[in-house]
């Protein structure tokens, strides 16, 4: 379902991104009653176009259509976190875990929950969530990105460098610009700057 290293758009992929957003809007606008299509379309317009309200509306419709979809509830964690709605993100994450306690994709929800706590300034809690995500899936790039940011914010420089080295191993040729672009609609400018600084201090090239 989710590729380890293709979770964020790459610089130069503007045509593919535009097409993905177009198709996602089409799914949402057509009023399809497919909950999986809706929550995936909601994530697409939120992450790739910054249309968080539209994305959240699609995800909420997906939940209404299938109240037992752990993935739909987990998707909402991400968008609620981006919007700074920490309480709702926490509630949705807990609900997803109750629906599917052994979900092989629980690391996705944990990363979204880490993002919500990061945005709220709760760095220690965010680190706990991201460590849980990495325990379940140590190769998923967005989790590693968040780990690097949090290590930098918490002053864990040696650990930060270790994770940057792992990031470069997973994504050869990675640059600060590539990953900053991937966060354009997910993190605010302040946190994107923190991420860029953490990567720069660990030796990652800018371009």
Q: What is the pLDDT of residue 9?
A: 46
Please, where are the H alpha helices in the chain?
14-29, 35-49, 52-65, 70-82, 86-99, 106-119, 123-136, 141-153, 157-170, 176-182, 189-201
Sign of CA dihedral 58, 60, 65, 66: positive
Q: What is the pLDDT of residue 3?
A: 46
Q: What is the pLDDT of residue 2?
A: 46
pLDDT in 10s for each residue of the chain, 207 residues: 344 444 444 444 788 889 999 999 999 998 778 999 999 999 999 999 999 999 999 999 999 999 999 999 999 999 999 898 999 999 999 999 999 999 999 999 999 999 999 989 999 999 999 999 999 999 999 899 889 989 999 999 999 989 988 988 998 877 888 777 777 888 888 878 887 888 888 777 776
C-alpha triplet 128, 2, 104: angle, nearest 5°? 55
Q: Which among 110, 117, 103, 115 is positioned nearest to 138, based on CA atoms?
A: 110
Tokens read off for 185: 């609609």
Q: What is the pLDDT of residue 184?
A: 82
Structure pTM? 0.86
Report the distance separating Cα 143 and Cα 145, nearest Å.
5
Q: What is the pLDDT of residue 190?
A: 82
Other Cβ atoms closer than 10 A to 28:
21
Q: What is the pLDDT of residue 15?
A: 84
């Amino acid at each position: 379902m989710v590729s380890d290293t293709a979770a964020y758009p790459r610089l130069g992929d503007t045509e593919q991104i535009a097409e993905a957003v177009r198709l996602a809007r089409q799914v949402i606008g057509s009023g399809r009653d497919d909950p999986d299509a809706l929550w995936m379309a909601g994530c697409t317009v939120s992450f790739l176009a910054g249309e968080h309200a539209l994305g959240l509306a699609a995800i909420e419709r997906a939940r209404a259509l299938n109240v037992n979809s752990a993935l739909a509830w987990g998707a909402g964690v991400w968008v609620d976190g981006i919007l700074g709605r920490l309480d709702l993100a926490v509630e949705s994450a807990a609900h997803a875990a109750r629906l599917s306690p052994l979900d092989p994709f629980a690391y996705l929800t944990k990363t979204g929950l880490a993002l919500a706590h990061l945005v709220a300034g709760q760095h220690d809690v965010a680190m706990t969530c991201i460590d849980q995500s990495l325990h379940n899936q140590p190769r998923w790039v967005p989790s590693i990105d968040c780990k690097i940011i949090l290590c930098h914010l918490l002053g864990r420089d040696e650990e930060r460098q270790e994770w940057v080295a792992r990031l470069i191993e997973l994504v050869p040729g990675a640059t600060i610009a590539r990953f900053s672009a991937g966060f354009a609609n997910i993190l605010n400018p302040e946190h994107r700057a923190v991420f860029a600084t953490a990567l720069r201090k660990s030796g990652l090239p800018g371009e």
